[in-house]
């Protein structure tokens, strides 16, 4: 039987000044409720990660931390994207707790699913994925593009949990292993399954955003899909090889046909067929070059090994020794690779 765990709820924030005052009390109530029924320790905390917001998000986080010790916050030196913000919070929390639950701050994910997540952890699971049971609140376009997103990722070889975003419980054991993954191009939905360990799923219904506006339009979804595929799969490169072979075979057959037609005297001069073939081959070449270029770009970023996040400020002090161990110096600045 496992001991009562210390839970850190990790919440990435970017320009969330409208929604934070609404959802922060909800997270606090949930921490208190879990602690009161003995599901988690009273030392559990809520860790906000400000992802370089341009509004008053960080000021609100600091105010919350002053009002209640259960609120904590770290601020990144600039905006580095949702996935890096989640990772920063997980790595900051892993030495302080037994389990983390990452969740967005907009109130769309059902926080009551945390009860079942913690219960599954107590049963022996190290990772618990929060999975949407329905998509009734989505528009027709959003619903079917999201489904296409998950199917495309799995078809391309990126192992992801269907209808799971970033609402998940991860134990400190798994976080320690996740810290060994050093890639700069982060796609946590695919990385966490790669780590392994015993996992399960908890289903919940997602509601409308409580305030503010979504920061994940179609363009970001497409970018996330591209990152997931190119970071976790080489299948597109193999598809290009197969396509190149098929086009080469077709071209060879075309050459044979042209020679036969020439010697039988049936050749007819014309530019339409020539232009069609040239445009087709050039289009294939450009697409293949673009995909290969995407991989080369990823390789370029990985070889530079830049920090995945840089923490510029915290709402709390951890002591000089702990701070120096984390940052490599006495200035309290954390650069993670």
For the range 271-279, what are the long-range contacts, defined as Cβ-Cβ under 8 Å and sequence gap of 24 or more?
none
Give the model's pLDDT for residue 288.
75
Per-residue pLDDT 10s for the chain (337 aa) are: 788 999 999 999 998 888 899 999 999 999 999 999 999 998 999 999 999 889 899 999 999 999 899 999 999 888 888 888 999 999 999 888 999 999 988 888 889 999 999 999 999 999 999 988 776 666 666 666 666 766 776 676 667 777 777 899 999 999 999 888 887 777 788 788 888 889 999 898 876 655 556 555 556 666 666 666 666 666 676 677 677 667 666 766 666 666 666 666 665 665 556 655 766 676 677 677 777 777 777 676 667 666 777 788 888 754 433 333 343 333 334 555 4
What are 335's strand-pairing partners?
310
First to last CA, the chain: 35
Which pLDDT belongs to residue 325? 37
Strands 309-314 and 334-336 come out as antiparallel
Longest dimension (CA), the chain: 92
Residue-wise pLDDT for 190-212, tens only, equals 788 888 889 999 898 876 655 55
In sequence order, the β-bridge partners of residue 334 are 311
H/E segment holding residue 335: strand 334-336
Beta-carbon count within 10 A of 288 CB: 18
Task: Kindly report the backbone phi and psi dihedral angles of residue 201, in degrees, each rounded to the nearest multiple of 5, phi listed first.
Answer: -130, 145
What pLDDT sits at residue 284? 72
Residues 6+ apart with CB under 8 A from 103: 9, 10, 11, 109, 111, 130, 166, 167
Burial of 34 (0-12, 13-18, 19+ CB in 10 A): buried
Count of beta carbons in the 10 Å neighbourhood of residue 277: 13
pLDDT of residue 255: 62
- Cα 41 to Cα 95, 174, 212, distances in angstroms: 15, 20, 32
CA distance 146 to 278: 36
Tell me, rounded to whole angstroms, the distance of Cα 16 from its chain centroid. Answer: 19
| Fold of the CATH domain 7-233+307-336 | Spore Coat Polysaccharide Biosynthesis Protein SpsA; Chain A (3.90.550)
User: So what's the pLDDT on residue 319?
Assistant: 40
**DSSP symbols for 171-224:** EHHHHHHHTT---SS--HHHHHHHH-SSEEEEEE-----SSS--S--HHHHHHH
By the 8 A CB rule, do 162 and 170 touch? no
pLDDT at position 98: 92
Distance, in Å, from the CA atom of 286 to the CA atom of 106, rounded to the nearest integer, reads 40
pLDDT tens column, 61-115: 999 999 899 999 999 888 888 888 999 999 999 888 999 999 988 888 889 999 9
């Amino acid at each position: 039987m496992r001991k009562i765990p210390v839970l850190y709820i990790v919440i990435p924030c970017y320009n969330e000044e409208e929604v934070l005052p609404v959802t922060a009390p909800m997270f606090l109530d949930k921490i208190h409720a879990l602690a009161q029924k003995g599901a988690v320790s009273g030392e559990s905390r809520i860790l906000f990660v400000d992802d370089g917001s341009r509004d008053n998000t960080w000021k609100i986080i600091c105010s919350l931390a002053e009002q209640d010790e259960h609120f904590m916050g770290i601020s990144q030196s600039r905006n580095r994207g949702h996935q890096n913000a989640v990772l920063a919070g997980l790595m900051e929390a892993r030495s302080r707790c037994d389990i983390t639950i990452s969740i967005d701050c907009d109130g769309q994910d059902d926080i009551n699913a945390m009860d079942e997540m913690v219960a599954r952890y107590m049963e022996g699971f190290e990772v618990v994925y929060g999975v949407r049971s329905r998509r009734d609140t989505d528009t027709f376009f959003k619903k079917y593009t999201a489904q296409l997103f998950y199917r495309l990722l799995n078809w391309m070889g990126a192992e992801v949990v269907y209808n799971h975003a970033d609402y998940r419980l991860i134990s400190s054991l798994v976080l320690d292993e996740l810290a060994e993954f050093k890639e700069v191009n982060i796609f946590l939905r695919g990385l966490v399954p790669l780590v392994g360990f015993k996992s399960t799923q908890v289903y919940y219904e997602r509601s409308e955003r409580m305030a503010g506006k979504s920061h994940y339009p179609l363009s970001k979804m497409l970018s996330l899909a591209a990152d997931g595929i190119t970071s976790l799969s080489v299948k597109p490169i193999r598809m290009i090889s197969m396509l190149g072979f098929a086009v080469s075979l077709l071209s060879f057959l075309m050459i044979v046909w042209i020679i036969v037609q020439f010697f039988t005297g049936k050749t007819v001069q014309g530019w339409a067929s020539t232009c069609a073939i040239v445009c087709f081959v050039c289009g294939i070449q450009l697409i293949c070059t673009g995909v290969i270029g995407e991989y080369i770009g990823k390789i370029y970023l990985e070889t530079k090994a830049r920090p995945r996040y840089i923490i510029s400020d915290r709402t709390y002090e951890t002591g000089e020794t702990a701070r120096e161990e984390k940052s490599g110096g006495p200035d309290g600045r954390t650069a993670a690779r």
